[in-house]
Structures are given as structure tokens and as C-alpha cells.
Structure 1
Amino acid sequence: MVIEPNSQSSFDKTHPMSLSTKFSYGIGEFAGEVTASVLVFFLLFFLTNVAGLSAGLAGTVLLIARAWDAINDPLIGWLSDRTQSRWGRRYPWMVIAAIPLAISFALIWWVPPLSGQALFLYYCGLAFIFHIAFTSVVLPYTTLGAELTEYYNERTSLISYKAGFSVTGSMLGLLIMQGTISVVDDPARQYFIAGSICGAIAALSTYICVFGTYKRFKLLQKKRTEVSRPPTLPIQQQIRIALSNRPFLFVVGIYLCSWLGLQVTASMLPYFVVNWMGLEENHFTQMAITVQGTGLLVMAGWNYLGQRWGKRKVYCTAIPLTLIAQAGLFLLQPGQVVAMYGLAVLAGAGLAVAYLIPWSMLPDVVDLDELETGQRREGIFYGFVVQLQKIAVAIALFMVGRILDAAGLVSANGEDIAADVAQPDSALLAIRWLIGPIPSLVLIGGIIFAWMYPITREFHEEILLKLSERKREQTQ
């Protein structure tokens, strides 16, 4: 049975999601993006150049944080699926963990009166606490996308707010850190003040999200099928069932390819701008802002097209824009600065869908899983995807470092300016391949996965119809 593409349940017609609910949900993205962007760009430098840890110990802190992340994402997802309270399954985690998130993030940027092994243990302990609080806020928050609306198009609209605030939050975190560093003279105080501001924003945005979306959540839960009970299967069995969900595997492929391609390109930008183009380092920040700012500006347009064309077609239309930009960057020559910024705009226009489409597909997968198993397990599915985002960052940085090292990249010492260090032709060629063709191959994989993704608008309407029929049968 096929439902007309523009059909919608009577609930969605009489209870459309308000703009304030979408805005409140989107602002919750600040909790993850403001903190994560600062960590990615500044933490290693802070640990070695401000806190005084050796590079080896600083790298071990980051490794421990990544290893703990790999464990706590699916674990907290599983526990939140089993949580029962009058506030639902997700909100208690967010409300309780928001303050520890803010405090632990601020303390990461504090230099205690310790040294050596004691200082190393301090930062390991903070990393452990922070990542528990971070996952306890970000993972339940992410799953709310599946619990605030059941309608195919409305989910795309909701996730567009999340994606827009994701880009904005990333830019905000960088601007806060850089602004504080430029105003405060003492390096230790610079980072602690900036970390405290970012931590406070993370906690405040969490509470705005909770109180701004709770009314909508309660309204939808009143009509949700009674079969959506907390799962009782062991976590190992739930993981096996999740991995047997074919559409979920396609979403995983889309997400992993999107973020690997994005992270490789992002990690190569400073090398490309400074070493290949021969420009000042401030051009790197301006290029990053150009890409992210363009993505933010076009997000509404992709959301509009996604509601009319479908998620799969929008992804397969947008990503080729980034492929063209990457080809252009590979061919770009020093001195072609205007063309470089034009290609940054084109890349941002395409990469915007990497923030939008995979997250809007995932709630549809959760609905299919509920139809097939009789259980709603957003936490397990979202835990896998959040975990993959972190793994993608680690893989991208590892790959880039190994390739550049093999190509003979010359590192700048403490007194050198990176642009003044002469790089061998082999290193410059590796930089160009890593900014263009290699991430392009990964993104092409994402297009293939998206084209094979089976849940169309019509298919999803059938899922909702069958879930509704099941509810009526149980209430008779």
C-alpha cells in the first residue's frame, strides 16, 4: 500500500511543530559544538604549550579520552533507552549532566599547581569526567529528533535547525577562544576564562533545549503507540539487531563517508593555505569561516528542497558541488586567491548536507526498527552514529599524519614561521592530493550509499500507518 507523498497524520495536521520548538531544539546543539570545536583546535596545544605536559603525555590524554568515548557512547545510549521517568527517557540525563559538563569543561583549561605524573593524572581524570557528562547531554539530545515528530518532512525541517546551529556553534566556540586570547595577556587565564564561557554556554543551551521542547515531547508521547516500551533485551543482542537493520547500515555509510571527507579536507586547510598557496595563517581561519558560513546560509535552501525532492536526491545533488570544489583546489596555483575563496563557497554549499541529511534519515530508521521489533531504541542507533563521528575524526587525523610524514613534510620549530619553511615537492603534492582527490573518493562512497538508501517519503508513510494500525489493535 502506497500513501500519497503529501499525506500526513491527523495529529501532524492539527499539531504542527512550532518555530519556538525548532529553535529550542536547534540551540541545544551548542552544548556539543561549542565545546567540541574548541577541543579539536586548541586542546593539544594547550596541554603542551600552556599546561606543560610533554607531547607524549598530552597525546596519551587524548588517546584515553577517545578510548573512553568508544565505550560510553553505546553504553549511555543503552541506559537512556531503559530510563523511565515522568520527564521521559532523555531529559533527565540532559538536566543532570549539564552542570557537570560546564564545570568539567572549564577545569580542563585550568592549570593546577602540579607537575609531571600528577598533572598527567589530573587531565586524564578531567577527560574521563568530561566525556561522561558530554555524552550524557549530547547523545540524549540528539535522539530527541526522533521523539519530537513522526512526520517525514517535519523531521527534515527540524534537523535543518540542528545543522544550522551546529555550524554556528562551531564558529562561536572558535571566536570565543580566539577573542579571549587576544584580550587577556596571561596564557593560563586566557584558556580558563574562555573554557568557562564555553562551558556556561553549553549548560545554558541544554536547559533552553529541555524547557523549550518538553511541551511538544509530552504532546507527542500521548499519541505514540503503547508498543514503544523500554527495551528489555541485553545490549549485545540489541547491537546485533541494530547492525542487521539494512537501512541503518546505509545511513552509517553516508555519515562515515561524509565526515571522513569533511575532516580530511578540514585538517588539510592550514597546510594548503600556508604551504601550497604561500599565504598568511589568518587566511586559514577566513577560509574555514567561508566554508562554514556558506553552509549555514544554504541550509534553509537544502531543507526546502529536501521536503520536495526527498533526502536521498538532495544529498546526491549537493555533494557533487563539493567534489567540483575539491577538484578545483587540487588544480589551484599559488596567487589565485580569489578563486580559492570561490571554491570555499562552493565546498560549503555542498558540505551543508553532511550536517543535515544523515541526521534526518536516522529517525526514519528508528521507526522501521520499531515496526520490526516492537521497541524504540533511539539510544542504541544514535550512540553508534555519535561514536562514528568521533572515530572519523581520529581516523582522518591519523591518515593525514602518516601520509604527510611519508611524503617528507618538514615541521616548523618553535622559532620558525610555517610559511617560511621550504617543503619538498613530494610533501606539496601530498597536500594537494589530501585536499582534493582522496576526500573526493570518500564522498563518492557517500553518494553511492545515499542512492541505495531505501526509505523514501512514501515508504516512511507506510511505516507510520502500520504503527498506527498496531496501536488501534492493542487498544481494542
Structure 2
Amino acid sequence: MIVLSTPLAVIAYFLIWFVPPFEDGKVIWYLIFYCIFQTLQTCFHVPYSALTMFISSEQKERDSATAYRMTVEVMGTVLGTAIQGQIVGMANAPCLPGPGDIDLSNSSLSVRLNASGPVISLDDTKVAYMIASGVICIIYVLCAIVLFFGVREKKESCRPRSGPMGFFQGIKLVMGHGPYAKLVMVFLFTSLGFMLLEGNFALFCSSTLGFRNDFQNILLVIMLSATLAIPFWQWFLTRFGKKTAVCAGSLSVIPFMILVVCMKSNLIVTYIVSFAAGVGVAAAFLLPWSMLPDVVDDFKVQNPDSTGHEALFYSFYVFFTKFASGVSLGISTLSLDFAGYISRGCSQPEEVDITLKVLVSAAPIALILIGLIILYSYPITEKKRQGNRKLLQEQRDNEADSETDSTELALMI
């Protein structure tokens, strides 16, 4: 699936940034290729993330593999942010003065607004996006090659012991597992909160705070901080437990969310807040994926004769990631549209600034707190996790003994 989806996903991604030579139907063009890309990316992401369950049966090894996977995944995001942000940032078209930017008593004001840097044409911006997308596509292909040839599955550890089960029957069984349903809801709300923060923080920095030429560097600081913080959160969860780590990681970013909207525009403070936000983003990246194998183990303990459902667990996790991303984008777009957002405007109405403050502070905080309230009832504690590990090890030992006895009996006959 990974090999089949990669070349098609690369083509679809490139065409998202390509400007078609016609005016009518551009929206349909981008909608089609964006949907195709997201579908193909899901075809890549589900088996890629589910590989965690197939490379080892030990909890410590899976937690370590998840930490390494998320570290490299965030590093890839940093690389993508740096490449696309820096290439596109050098070709940013100048802002457009709105009615509030024009002072009739000073006719040179609108000229100065657009004369702060070199004049960038629309064609230059198009070329910059094409170059950036081409580089991202090359990295995508290289990573898929490394994954395909560098990872080996332990297929014997997931050999089914029962007959095939229908797809909808499997969905009902998986979604009916209480710990998984609660973890998915926690993941949905916390992810939605962090996605609202990430998706609107660049616009907040460039529009509300006035750091139009620094927003790509601010995003880079966030992702770099997230990369550096993942090893810390891996140590923290092994020392204090995963539920505690999720609470600490999610709550750690809230004071900085409040600080950034309460203080006056200050670039140094913004960088500090961005670094702190990256620490929380690292927790949001790592911890939910680190908890998912524990839920799968708990499911196996309660349903010992039902195997091979790992892909369903991970596919719904990926689905809710996409769902949170879509909801975040929809909320942001509609909110800014209602507030009167001016695309490429040198300044925005006061309603837009208020809306952005809500989208990067109040709304994410509320969603994160809802997720943590649900997390309180999540039943898999460290004690239960260790108990599940022992029970699964006993199951594997019994299976090995049964296979040995069967082999000896066959040889005697």
C-alpha cells in the first residue's frame, strides 16, 4: 500500500500547488487534487503508523519505536516548514492596503506600505511554490524508499487464530472497546485544540502582532522546539506514566497561550511563547500515539480469539486526525470570514484581531480542557498496562507450548 500510494500522492501534491492555465473551474481543480492527496496520504499513513504493532510485541520496544517515529516525523515537519517557509517567504507578494491604511492627508502612505521590500510579482510567487513543492515531493519519495526497505515486519506475531471477520463487525467490536473510544475522544479534542493553535498562529503573528516577515521563522521555532522536546516527554512518560504525561504536556502550553494574547506585540516574547508552544505540540504528537498500543493490548487481553484488528485501531486514529484537521480549517475559515478578514491586507479590522485571539487562545484552551476531562476516566493506568503485558506474555508462552506439543505429536506419528 505504501509503495502504491507514494508516486500518486507525490503527483497529487505537486498539482495542488500548480496553477492551471484556465480561470473557470480552478476551485474544482484544487478540490479534486486536494481530496486525492489526502486519500493517498491516508493510504500511506495507516500502514505506516500500524507498523508499530508489527515490529515488536514488547511494550517498551513499541514505546521506543513510537518515540523515534514521532521524533523523525516532527523533524520531517521541521524540514518541510524550513524548506517551504523559506523558499516561499522570499517570494511573498506585498500586502494590499485596505481602506483603513490610506490617509488622504498623506498620499505616500500606501506607497510606503508596499515599498518596504523588493517588488515580487505573482509569477515569482507561483514559481516559488512550485519549487518548494518539488523539493517536498523528492523528500517524500526518499522517505518512502527508506521505510519500505528499512523496516521488517514480524508477521508471525500477528497470525490470526480465528476465522475472518466482516469489516463492519470488526468496526463494531473495535469502537465498542471502552478505553479506545475514550482515548479517541481525548485525541480528537486535544488535537483539534493544538491544530487551531498551529493553523492560526502564523496569521496571528503576521496580522495581529505585526511580524509579517518573521512568521515562517516563528513556525520553524515551534517545530524545532517540538523535535527537541520529544525525548523529554519519552523520559517523562516512562518515569511518571502516560496519563500524567498527557496532562502535564497539555497543561504546560496553556499559560503561554494566555500570555501571547495578553501582552503587547514583542518579537522576543513571541519567540519564547513559540518555543514553549512547541513543547506542548511535542506532547500532542507523541503521547496519543504512544497510548494507542496499550489500548490494542487491552483489547487483545479481553478478546484473545480475535486478532488482526490493528489496522482498524490505527485507521480510525488517522481518520480522527484528518477529521480534526478539517474541522479546524473549517472553523478558522468561517470565523475569519464572518469577522471580515482581508486577504493579503496590510492591516485587518479589529474584529479579525479579536477572532484570531480566540482561535489561538480561548478555543484551544477550552478544547484541551475538555479532552483532559475525558482523559480522567481513561481506565488504562500504569498498573493495568503492566498487568496486560504479563497476560499477553502468558498467552504467547501458552501458544508456543501448544505449537511445540503439536510438532512433537506430529513427529511421533
Q: Same fold per TM (> 0.5)?
A: yes
The correspondence of residues 423-434 of structure 1 with structure 2, limited to 5 A, is 423-424=349-350, 426-434=351-359
Of residues 339, 347, 351, the one that matches 1:420 is 347
Structure 2 residues without counterparts, runs of 5 or longer: 92-119, 406-413
Check whether the contact 2:186–2:372 (CA below 8 A) recurs between aligned residues.
yes
Quick check: 395-404 or 374-383, which moved more?
395-404
Q: Find the aligned partners of 1:269 and 1:187 in 2 and give their Cα distance.
A: 22
For the pair 1:330 / 2:330, whether they are aligned, the reply is: no
Check whether the contact 1:156–1:306 (CA below 8 A) recurs between aligned residues.
no
Check whether the contact 2:53–2:310 (CA below 8 A) recurs between aligned residues.
yes
For the pair 1:267 / 2:199, whether they are aligned, the reply is: yes
Of residues 389, 392, 396, the one that matches 1:467 is 392
Check whether the contact 1:94–1:137 (CA below 8 A) recurs between aligned residues.
yes
The correspondence of residues 68-467 of structure 1 with structure 2, limited to 5 A, is 93-111=1-19, 113=21, 116-117=24-25, 123=30, 126-127=33-34, 129-181=36-88, 182=90, 186-214=124-152, 217-218=153-154, 221-222=155-156, 224=157, 226-227=159-160, 232-277=164-209, 279-334=210-265, 336-373=266-303, 374-406=306-338, 408-412=339-343, 418-421=345-348, 423-424=349-350, 426-467=351-392
Q: CA 1:447–1:313 in structure 2 vs 1: closer, same or farther (change >3 Å)?
A: same
CA RMSD of superposed structures (Å): 2.7
- Offset of residue 293 of structure 1: 1.4
Q: What is the match of residue 29 of structure 1?
A: none
Q: CA 1:226–1:146 in structure 2 vs 1: closer, same or farther (change >3 Å)?
A: closer
Q: CA 1:401–1:261 in structure 2 vs 1: closer, same or farther (change >3 Å)?
A: same
Q: What is the match of residue 106 of structure 2?
A: none
Q: CA 1:145–1:228 in structure 2 vs 1: closer, same or farther (change >3 Å)?
A: farther
Aligned identity (percent) is: 24
Quick check: 175-184 or 134-143, which moved more?
175-184
Moved over 6 A (4+): none
Cα deviation digits, residues 328-382 of structure 1 (max 9, x gap): 1232223x33222222222222221100010011112122222333212111111
Check whether the contact 1:110–1:192 (CA below 8 A) recurs between aligned residues.
yes
Larger Rg: 2
Residue identity in the other structure for 1:355? F
Q: Find the aligned partners of 1:366 and 1:131 in 2 and give their Cα distance.
A: 26
Residue identity in the other structure for 1:461? Q
Check whether the contact 1:156–1:307 (CA below 8 A) recurs between aligned residues.
no
Structure 1 residues without counterparts, runs of 5 or longer: 1-92
Check whether the contact 1:108–1:126 (CA below 8 A) recurs between aligned residues.
yes
Q: CA 1:435–1:127 in structure 2 vs 1: closer, same or farther (change >3 Å)?
A: closer
TM-score, length-scaled by structure 2: 0.80
Q: CA 1:401–1:104 in structure 2 vs 1: closer, same or farther (change >3 Å)?
A: closer
Cα deviation digits, residues 168-226 of structure 1 (max 9, x gap): 22222233234444489755544333323222211221121122221xx23xx44x264
Check whether the contact 1:142–1:382 (CA below 8 A) recurs between aligned residues.
yes
- Offset of residue 129 of structure 1: 4.3
Residue identity in the other structure for 1:140? P
Check whether the contact 2:202–2:218 (CA below 8 A) recurs between aligned residues.
no
Q: Find the aligned partners of 2:16 and 2:137 in 1 and give their Cα distance.
A: 10
- Offset of residue 410 of structure 1: 4.1
- Offset of residue 145 of structure 1: 1.3
- Offset of residue 460 of structure 1: 2.7
- Offset of residue 405 of structure 1: 4.0
Q: Find the aligned partners of 1:319 and 1:125 in 2 and give their Cα distance.
A: 35
Q: CA 1:213–1:341 in structure 2 vs 1: closer, same or farther (change >3 Å)?
A: same
Check whether the contact 1:257–1:442 (CA below 8 A) recurs between aligned residues.
yes
Cα deviation digits, residues 127-175 of structure 1 (max 9, x gap): 4543443222221001011222233333222222222222222222233
Residue identity in the other structure for 2:138? A
Check whether the contact 1:370–1:376 (CA below 8 A) recurs between aligned residues.
no
- Offset of residue 456 of structure 1: 2.9
Check whether the contact 1:274–1:419 (CA below 8 A) recurs between aligned residues.
no
Q: Secondary structure in 2 aligned to 1:137?
A: helix
Residue identity in the other structure for 1:340? T
Residue identity in the other structure for 1:275? S
Q: CA 1:352–1:158 in structure 2 vs 1: closer, same or farther (change >3 Å)?
A: same
Q: Find the aligned partners of 1:239 and 1:361 in 2 and give their Cα distance.
A: 20
Q: CA 1:137–1:329 in structure 2 vs 1: closer, same or farther (change >3 Å)?
A: same
Check whether the contact 2:197–2:364 (CA below 8 A) recurs between aligned residues.
yes
Check whether the contact 2:86–2:216 (CA below 8 A) recurs between aligned residues.
no
Residue identity in the other structure for 2:83? I
